[in-house]
Amino acid sequence: MGHSQTHGYLFGLGAVLIWSGFILVSRLGGLSDLNHYDVIALRYGTCAVIVLPVWWFKFRFNLWQFKYLAVALVGGIAYALTTFHGFQLAPASHGALLLPGSMPLFIFVLALLVGQSSWSVQKMLGVMVITVGIGALFYGQFLSAHVDINIIKGDGLFLLGALCWGVFSVMIKHWGVSPWQATISIAILTALMYLPMYVLFAPKQISQEVMPDILTQMVYQGFLATIVQLLLFVRAVELIGAANMGSLMAFVPLIAGVSALIIFNEPVTATLVLGLMLVAFGAWFSHSRLIEKMFHKPIL
């Protein structure tokens, strides 16, 4: 393995670890005295302050175009409102399974519907495995003697958040929006649209007593999970390719899920463990170059 590939996998590993940490830190915010409106404000307020000079001095473009506004509404506000509310209601291990698990599922199906993708044996089988993994989680929920309706709602919000991200992914590909354009649009436009509504109408839990939680969410959500993760991800794709990076991302459900069970002492069930394993395997299978050599011809 050459130096560039080694560096590519290191960048990819960094992106995977930050993505996994995002799930844990988001649940930490959900368990804190902050509400999800606060976390969203801290995330996009911080990110907007950081990327504003980047946009102004290096990547300036006309933000007030329909495509960038749509990207911010779907990939910023809609995704955040659903996902961060979900972390207030459901365990982080469920988020670890449903978010990175259903995102590739929704992205693939939506891309297929608008003609951006085609069915292949590899992708079809990978999507099937992911779907079974997601189904295992919900099957275990309904088998439980004590069904927690809040957890069911949280899981549903995770699926809605993943759907928003799927729509966002299809939109940026359709319109040719670059990673920096997407990041800047989501950061600045989301902040401009969301923060006034937050200040005027949203319930707030921000106070001096929760300053450690505020700083944690600002640093992780507003800097690491948005800007640093994006740069690492894009650089990894450049060096090792999208397929290899996609295979690495399959580790997110396992890393975040197992970590959540330990850190938050969440209940371990056979269906949850099975779901995490199936989602991770399905995501890996869908992007594996080894499998691609076996199934390379499209069905349609």
pLDDT, tens only, 101-142: 898 888 888 888 888 766 678 888 888 999 999 999 999 988
Per-residue pLDDT at 170 exceeds 70:
yes
Taking only the tens place, the pLDDT of each residue in 267-287 is 999 999 999 999 999 988 887
Report the alpha-carbon distance of residue 118 to residue 123 in Å, rounded. Answer: 9
pLDDT at 203: 95
> What are the tokens at 54?
């980047």
Report yes or no: 114 and 271 within 8 Å, Cβ to Cβ: no
* Across 144-169, average pLDDT: 91
Report the alpha-carbon distance of residue 214 to residue 233 in Å, rounded. Answer: 26
Measured CA to CA in angstroms, residue 29 lies from 38, 62, 160, 163 at distances of: 9, 34, 19, 22
| Tally of CB atoms within 10 A around 4 | 11
Taking only the tens place, the pLDDT of each residue in 179-223 is 889 999 999 999 999 999 999 999 999 999 999 999 999 999 999
CA 53, 55, 58, 62 torsion: positive or negative? negative
> What are the tokens at 154?
């949280």
pLDDT at 299: 47
Among residues 33, 31, 51, 29, the alpha carbon closest in space to that of 42 is found at 29
pLDDT at 221: 96
Residue extents of the structural domains in the chain: 3-294
**AA letter at 24:** L
Torsion, Cα 81 87 90 96, to 10 degrees, reads 110
